[in-house]
Structure 1
Amino acid sequence: MSDDRLARLEDMMGQLVGMVGKVLAEQQDMRSDMNAMKSDISSINARLERVEASQISSYESIPYLLDKTAEHDRDIHAIKGRLLKI
């Protein structure tokens, strides 16, 4: 082989090693990012479970509030009826 051809192959091998190193470094960064996203998702899921739990308790209180509102409306209607008779 000629010296020029060997030099060119050597340069190409150097470029290839550099590209492989860059790909491996970026792959490691992507793994780190994925681990961070998994942690974030776990945190979001925990918060979502707390929100769902509080929402359930809100749904349970709605019928009570509706009953109390109806009771107060009935009382107001009765009081207005008495006041208008006077």
Structure 2
Amino acid sequence: MGLYMDVHTLEGGVKREDVAEAHAADLATQDAHGVKYLRYWVDEAQGKIFCLVDAPDAEAASAVHREAHGLVADEIYQVSEGS
């Protein structure tokens, strides 16, 4: 398993409530892919969403988004925790 940060960019901004609904759909879907979505951050005005996920690989993390709501990330990075 590894930590991944994915980045979504939605033109015209995004509503925090919509992101919360999408995250709930991720949580309902993640177990089938061996993934655990941990946290997310939102910049409503810029239309940016950042998701932190523990996953076997980037494709598994992306598969959850694809199946749960169809909003796949524009970018995904493997990251490590720092202090």
When normalised by structure 2's length, the TM-score is 0.24
Of the two structures, which has the highest relative contact order with CA contacts closer than 8 Å and spacing of 6 or more? 2
Larger strand proportion of the pair:
2
Provide the TM-score with structure 1 as the length reference: 0.23
Which has a greater percent of helix? 1
Specify the structure having the higher radius of gyration (Cα): 1
